[in-house]
Amino acid sequence: MSFEPKILGISCNWCSYAGADLAGTSRKKYSPNVRIVRVMCSGRVDPIFILKAFKAGADGVLVCGCHPGECHYAEGNYKAARRIPLLKKMLSQLGVEDERVRLEWVSASEGDRFASIVDEMTEQIRRLGPFSRNNGGSENG
Amino acid sequence: MSIEYVPTICPYCSCGCGIHLVVKDGRIIGQEPWKEHPVNEGSNCPKGKNAYHYIYSKDRLKMPLVRKNGELQETSWEEALDLVASKLKEATPEDFGFIASCRSSNEDAYVMQKFTRVVVGTNNVEYCGRLCHSPAATALIPAMGSGAMQTSQPEIELADCFFLAGVNINETFPMVMRRVLRAKARGAKVIYTDPRKTATARYLADIHLQLRSGTDAALIDAMMRIILDEGLEDKEFIASKTAGFDELRDSLSKVDLKEAEKITGVPLEKIREAAITYAKAERGCILYDQGISQHYVGTDNVRNHANLALLCGHAGKPGSGINSMRGQINGEGGGDMGCLCVFYPGFKRVDEESAKFFEEAWGVTNLPTKPGFTYIDMLYKCPYLYIVGADPMMVVPDVNNLKKALEKANFIVVQDIFPTEISKLAHVVLPAATWVEREATHTWIDRRVQKINKVVDPPGEAKPDWWIICQLAERMGYKDKFNFTSSGDIFEEVRSCVPQYKGITYERLAKTIGGIHWPCPAEDHPGTPTMFLEKFGTPDGLGHFQAVEYKPPAEVPDEEYPYFLTTGRSIFHYHTGAMTRRTPKLNDEISQGFVEVNPEDANKVGVKDKDVVTLKTRRGSIEAEAKVTDEVPPGLLFVPLHFPDSCANVLTISALDPSAKCAETKVCAANMEVKR
Amino acid sequence: MKGDMHIARSSDKEILEKAEHGGAVTSLLKFALEGKRVDAVLAVKARDGDRYDGIPVLITNPEEIIETTGSLHCTSPNIARFLTEYLDGASNLKIAVVVKPCDAKAIIELAKRTQINLDNLLLIGLNCTGTLPSAKAKTMMKEEFEVDPTDVVAEDIEDNKLTIRLNDGTEKEKGLAELEGRGYGRRENCRRCETNIPVMADIACGKWGATDKKTTFIEVCSEKGADFISAAIEAGHITVEQPSSDAIETRKKKDEAARELAQQWQEKDFASFKEMSADERFNYWFDQFSHCIKCYGCRDACPICYCKDCYLEADRGLVAAGEVPPSIMFPMIRATHVMDSCVNCGQCQDVCPMELPLSRLIFMLNRELAGIFNYEPGMDINALPPLRTVTDAELAVEGVELTL
């Protein structure tokens, strides 16, 4: 049986969650590997959520927010734009492939785009393998 | 406003790590690293990082307590001491037993044994070292001349092969692990024996010999047999520095390696790998602890490990030898000061000659010449008991049985800093000062004597242990022999009759950060980090082989009790937990007893992680929360000894080593079921 | 004025005799107290004369200042922690603090996070090219210099050499490179530190550019510093002269040379990590952190870790309680939280029981971020921590890639 990645998708309430919703209402077929959690703003995403997700068994985390300039709270997505690269640098240094964390801007009208991002990321994580492949999962994961 | 950094040494284990206490207006408000200290260089383990909190716990004993109408009630020192003195005068020498503390200072310990011998007239004085490191004395004194750690902590780094025998240093001696890691960075190999797959096994050891509980002697026999077969023994060392090799070789010729594999459960190739690695090393270092000591064959176990060290010439060099790892702030000192029924201070055997020596030293007559009762025997046989800083109700095996005996005692005095399980049975409870509440010396694991200065006052009416004993001595007519006005006075007397300490003075200690290692025979002697450099401490200066015969554990699993049960410690707690359970940051990590259960075993009886289970042995039963983990192999349960509500020693078996009289708290048979 | 430079010396005879480099700093501290410009001075003193145990001391009596003269090179007390932990961040106490560049940077980062009231502080900066780890320094004195550590009365680091002076007046010198090649010498973070002159303090004092061994070169780094120096001169505590342009140039060159050496060390320190593959890195860090015993020493020592209610505590439920080694979450969370502002003080690595290369890791991550965020920790009180700011340039970025 081939490995089915588990991806946590954290989407902001205003643009990206609506975009994901649009993919659904348009009956767009795309990989079922993302579980979506809604936050009010991508700026709410504390890097700790992402680490916790990995600990809880996620193989990848997709953070979606509004395009620059379109954040409902003006600057929230810019904060995300700083936090995610920071987290990726740390993960990368510790030997975790930084492709497992992905930041995307998705607007409310970009249902298709959301779907193709999920497809793309699913395949990418599938190629990388499960998050816990290196440490046997049990300890320190 | 004055905020001062005051240096001191951690109150917990036997490594002896330096810390700075931050003192403001006479109260300790924090602690900071003391980067200069040679043992820990500014780092600390979790306990050491939270060293001082326990002294401010609300339930510190502050007043003398006397039991009236079944309840302990506060009273004055006058009344309490008068009562104790009058009661002790009733007792005949054989009826009295004194249990000294591993945490009292050298000065306290010295006064306690002097009191027992001079005032009461018996050698019934012991300390908790009996329960754990007595095999060091019974095995290593004949083997090499001393049971103390042979090398020093800094020199451990020099070893290129470590044999960690029954000692989970990752959790029990992190500062020693620091040294082992440094050696590993230079290529040293680590061999580790433990039935459990502890953190030491998983992350430190190169070779983990996951042997069946209690089969250490068989394992070492197999290793030695392999070493001989391969011709890897150190022939020159054996010829020039040892005696008794022929008998050992004969004994080993009977070893059947396949049988050993079956007995120990360790694959023969692994035993072979370990044996060859250790034998081929330049400087092998055995560190051992309760995993091999706390068995009814503890002495044999330690003897065999000593054999291994001598066989390969790994003794008498810095960073080498067979090293017993004491666990308490004065585990070494308590023994040095003679709180053992078979030793006067300085390890002079109890006999007429030693009695004479001390009669002269102390200006007394009629000192007892026959060995007294050992710790556990004392508790069962002596109706008058004086117990300082120890909790037999937590640490002696088969606690329920002990309780019955103690309930019949005529008079029990408990001198401590907190109410404990044993104080619940006491007739008098006396409040003691602890750690930096008094000036004192302690002796750490590598015979390192360091001084602790007084930083704060003890709470309420609590007093230093030695003061209390001196008060009693006075009331019993011996004021002139206990005329000490300070711990300095006591230490001077110690120096005068304990040759190992002769060259150590308070002044030298004040100037020597990291302390002085005994033996230190003169004031200009630098101390002795590693012993036996030229010859062993035996009468003939040689190391003596002592062949042993493997004996299986006293109680093995059967149908009714299908699991092995073993006990041990956690890094976050300290022995009976009295100090660490009262330290929030430590107690938050682990706040209740647990039992480690292998997932296979858990599945078989329907136990899930965090289920409360009942553990039962032929001695009694306790409840504990299940921790399903592969840290234990199938067939083995592990319970820590820190929690009165899940007291491990309710379950353990009172099988005693015939010479050392320590108990087999590391292995017995148990059953387990989910609590309905 | 800010930017002024002086060659200074004490006007006090006793201080001139006892102190190094003309005793200017000692006099300034004394003036700070006598002139009631501060309530107390926070300096470092050799505890009981022990040069390897420098402890922070809070001095209110000007007569006691002279006991803190002379730089202690073989010790590394955590000054920023002392301020926050025991002096309530100087919330209601005016303090003159003697700071090395790392101390000053730590204090400024804490001030940005409202943990220290910078308005109440007068930062007396001292140039620094490094300190030595205490216990190892004593061994070094015995093994390398062949002296009794307690006989050493002064140390000096200059031109990549370590010179010690003994109580009988003799001096011994060894090359730092040679010592550091044998595992002695300066603390690891010091070797790679590029901040030798504490321009983020109120004044920066040192020997580079000084006329001789009896003077101190002072650079005024803030208006507060300028006021202070003027007042000190006026009150007659120090005398000053203009440094020649040569002197200023010499100082600049020395700083550049030290910085170059530091950059080489940075490269060296980080090289092995950069050369490892992802798998190798994973294995390396997993192995390292498997030795962690959850002592919280790193967290306690770190100036950027200031949360009273730390995520890593046992009662937060994020890192499973009672386990050693703790889950890899522990170092990951710590790194994530502090890497943007790590000042390379090295306090974390100093106190780690298992000698994990914490400062090396986190400072390396910080250097990678410095390029992205354009942020230098500890240099400017007005530059907010990178995760709290958004630059105008970023507001124009369309994609997810941050290129500033």
Output the 3-class SS for chain A. CCCCCCEEEEEECCCHHHHHHHHHHCCCCCCCCEEEEEECCHHHCCHHHHHHHHHCCCCEEEEEECCCCCCCCCCHHHHHHHHHHHHHHHHHHCCCCHHHEEEEECCCCCHHHHHHHHHHHHHHHHHHCCHHHCCCCCCCC
Whether residues C291 and B204 touch (CB distance < 8 A) is answered with yes
Residue C152 φ/ψ region, left for φ over 0, alpha for ψ in the -120 to 50 degree band, beta for the rest: beta
Under 8 Å CB-to-CB from B69, ≥6 apart: which residues? Answer: none
Diameter over CA atoms, chain B = 74
The H or E element that residue B486 is part of is none
| Cα distance between residue C16 and residue C239, in whole Å | 12
Which residues in chain C are closer than 8 Å to A92, comparing Cβ atoms? 278
> Pairing state of beta strands B428-431 and C54-59?
unpaired
- Give pLDDT tens digits for C189-203: 999 999 999 999 999
Chain A residue with minimum CA distance to C401: A81
Residues in chain B, pLDDT under 70: none
Helix (H, G, I), strand (E, B) or coil at B206: coil
Helix (H, G, I), strand (E, B) or coil at B390: coil
Which residues in chain C are closer than 8 Å to A140, comparing Cβ atoms? 286, 289-290, 325, 327-328
- Give pLDDT tens digits for C127-171: 999 999 999 999 999 999 999 999 999 999 998 999 999 999 999
Whether residues C283 and A82 touch (CB distance < 8 A) is answered with no
Chain C residue with minimum CA distance to B2: C58
Interface test with C, best of B6, B13, B43, B157 (most C CBs within 10 A): B43
Which residues in chain C are closer than 8 Å to A73, comparing Cβ atoms? none
Which residues in chain C are closer than 8 Å to B570, comparing Cβ atoms? 322
pTM: 0.96
Which residues in chain A are closer than 8 Å to C273, comparing Cβ atoms? 93
> Residue A136: its pLDDT value, please?
37
Under 8 Å CB-to-CB from C288, ≥6 apart: which residues? Answer: C354, C356, C357
Residue with tokens 């932990």: C85
Chain B residue with minimum CA distance to C59: B2
Interface test with A, best of C336, C375, C397 (most A CBs within 10 A): C336
Q: Which residues pair with B287 in a beta bridge?
A: B164, B323
Output the 3-class SS for chain C. CCCCEEEEEECCHHHHHHCCHHHHHHHHHHHHHHCCCCCEEEEEEEHHHCCCCEEEEEECCHHHHHHHCCCCCCCCCCHHHHHHHHCHHHCCCCEEEEECHHHHHHHHHHHHCCCCCHHHEEEEEECCCCCCCHHHHHHHHHHCCCCCHHHEEEEEEECCEEEEEECCCCEEEEEHHHHHHCCCCCCHHHHCCCCCCCCCCCEEEECCCCCCCCCEEEEECCHHHHHHHHHHHHCCCEEEECCCHHHHHHHHHHHHHHHHHHHHHHHHHHHHHHHCCHHHHHHHHHHHHCCCCCCCHHHHHCCCCCCCCCCCCHHHCCCCCCCCCCCCHHHHHHHHHHCCCCCCCCHHHHHCCCCCCHHHHHHHHHHHHHHHHCCCCCCCCCCCCHHHCCCHHHHCCCCCCCCC
Query: Could you say which of C285, C290, C373 has the minimum Cβ distance to residue A82?
Result: C373
> Residue A52: its pLDDT value, please?
93
| Cα distance between residue B463 and residue B434, in whole Å | 9
In this predicted structure, the answer to whether residue A133 has a pLDDT above a threshold of 80 is no
Whether residues C53 and B36 touch (CB distance < 8 A) is answered with yes
In this predicted structure, the answer to whether residue C92 has a pLDDT above a threshold of 90 is yes
Query: Could you say which of B3, B37, B585 has the minimum Cβ distance to residue C135?
Result: B37
Which residues in chain C are closer than 8 Å to B169, comparing Cβ atoms? none
In this predicted structure, the answer to whether residue A140 has a pLDDT above a threshold of 60 is no
Does residue C314 sit at the B interface (CB-CB below 8 Å)? yes
The H or E element that residue B179 is part of is helix B174-185
Interface test with B, best of C55, C64, C68, C136 (most B CBs within 10 A): C55
Interface test with A, best of C282, C338, C340, C387 (most A CBs within 10 A): C282
Query: Could you say which of C282, C331, C339 has the minimum Cβ distance to residue A86?
Result: C339
Question: What per-residue string of b and e applies to B95-112 under the rule 16 or more CB within 10 Å gives b?
Answer: bbbbbbbbbbbbbbbbbb
| Cα distance between residue C176 and residue B547, in whole Å | 54
In this predicted structure, the answer to whether residue C389 has a pLDDT above a threshold of 60 is yes
> Residue C380: its pLDDT value, please?
96
Which residues in chain C are closer than 8 Å to B32, comparing Cβ atoms? 77-78, 81
Question: Of B93, B105, B89, B97, whose CA–CA distance to B125 is shortest?
Answer: B97
Nearest Cα of chain A lies from the Cα of C269 at a distance, in angstroms, of: 14
> Residue B380: its pLDDT value, please?
97
**Both tokens assigned to B516:** 């002085």
Please count the other Cβ atoms lying within 10 Å of the Cβ belonging to residue C251: 21
Which residues in chain C are closer than 8 Å to B44, comparing Cβ atoms? 295, 297, 351, 353
Chain B residue with minimum CA distance to C300: B32
Please count the other Cβ atoms lying within 10 Å of the Cβ belonging to residue A108: 16
More confident residue, C17 or B105: B105
Instruction: Evaluate whether B14 touches B448 at the Cβ level (below 8 Å).
Output: no
Instruction: Evaluate whether B161 touches B189 at the Cβ level (below 8 Å).
Output: yes
| Cα distance between residue B496 and residue B490, in whole Å | 10
> Residue C141: its pLDDT value, please?
98
Instruction: Evaluate whether C124 touches C203 at the Cβ level (below 8 Å).
Output: yes
In this predicted structure, the answer to whether residue C403 has a pLDDT above a threshold of 80 is no
> Residue A138: its pLDDT value, please?
39
Instruction: Evaluate whether B351 touches B369 at the Cβ level (below 8 Å).
Output: yes
- Give pLDDT tens digits for C177-192: 999 999 999 999 999 9
| Chains within contact range of chain C (3+ C-beta pairs < 8 Å) | A, B
Chain A residue with minimum CA distance to C279: A95
Does residue A59 sit at the C interface (CB-CB below 8 Å)? no
Under 8 Å CB-to-CB from B274, ≥6 apart: which residues? Answer: B163, B191, B207, B209, B223
- Give pLDDT tens digits for B246-292: 999 999 999 999 999 999 999 999 999 999 999 999 999 999 999 99
**Both tokens assigned to A88:** 């990726």
Does residue B53 sit at the C interface (CB-CB below 8 Å)? no
| Cα distance between residue A53 and residue B53, in whole Å | 36
| Cα distance between residue B162 and residue A84, in whole Å | 44
Which residues in chain C are closer than 8 Å to A12, comparing Cβ atoms? none
Does residue B381 sit at the C interface (CB-CB below 8 Å)? no
Instruction: Evaluate whether C31 touches C25 at the Cβ level (below 8 Å).
Output: no
Whether residues C336 and A87 touch (CB distance < 8 A) is answered with yes
Q: C257-271, C325-339, C382-396: lowest mean pLDDT where?
A: C382-396
> Residue A1: its pLDDT value, please?
61
Q: What is the ipTM of this complex?
A: 0.96
Amino acid, single-letter form, for residue C122: L
Query: Could you say which of B2, B199, B589 has the minimum Cβ distance to residue C325?
Result: B199
Instruction: Evaluate whether B572 touches C320 at the Cβ level (below 8 Å).
Output: no
Q: Which DSSP category does B602 fall into? A: H
User: How long, in residues, is chain C?
Assistant: 404
pLDDT-based confidence at residue A137 (cuts at 50, 70, 90): very low
> Pairing state of beta strands B543-544 and B242-243?
parallel
**Both tokens assigned to C389:** 């700011």
> Residue C395: its pLDDT value, please?
77
> Residue B463: its pLDDT value, please?
98
Residue with tokens 């004195």: C141
Across residues A46-66, what is the average pLDDT? Answer: 95
| Cα distance between residue C23 and residue C66, in whole Å | 9
> Residue A141: its pLDDT value, please?
36
Does residue B5 sit at the C interface (CB-CB below 8 Å)? yes
Q: What φ, ψ does residue A14 adopt, rounded to 5°?
A: -85, -65
Which residues in chain C are closer than 8 Å to A42, comparing Cβ atoms? none
Q: Is B324 exposed, middle or buried (0-12, 13-18, 19+ CB in 10 A)?
A: buried
> Residue C271: its pLDDT value, please?
95
**Both tokens assigned to C61:** 């009596």
Instruction: Evaluate whether B126 touches B339 at the Cβ level (below 8 Å).
Output: yes
Interface test with C, best of A41, A46, A89 (most C CBs within 10 A): A89
Amino acid, single-letter form, for residue A74: A
> Residue C57: its pLDDT value, please?
96
Whether residues A92 and C284 touch (CB distance < 8 A) is answered with no
Under 8 Å CB-to-CB from B588, ≥6 apart: which residues? Answer: C313, C314, C315, C321
Whether residues C336 and A84 touch (CB distance < 8 A) is answered with no
pLDDT-based confidence at residue A135 (cuts at 50, 70, 90): very low
- Give pLDDT tens digits for A67-95: 998 999 998 999 999 999 999 999 999 99
Question: Of B447, B416, B442, B444, whose CA–CA distance to B429 is shortest?
Answer: B416
| Cα distance between residue B237 and residue A128, in whole Å | 56
Instruction: Evaluate whether C49 touches C67 at the Cβ level (below 8 Å).
Output: no
Across residues C260-266, what is the average pLDDT? Answer: 96
**Both tokens assigned to B214:** 């209690």
Under 8 Å CB-to-CB from A1, ≥6 apart: which residues? Answer: none
Q: What percent of chain B has pLDDT over 70?
A: 100
Instruction: Evaluate whether B420 touches B431 at the Cβ level (below 8 Å).
Output: no
Please count the other Cβ atoms lying within 10 Å of the Cβ belonging to residue A16: 32
Whether residues A89 and C365 touch (CB distance < 8 A) is answered with yes
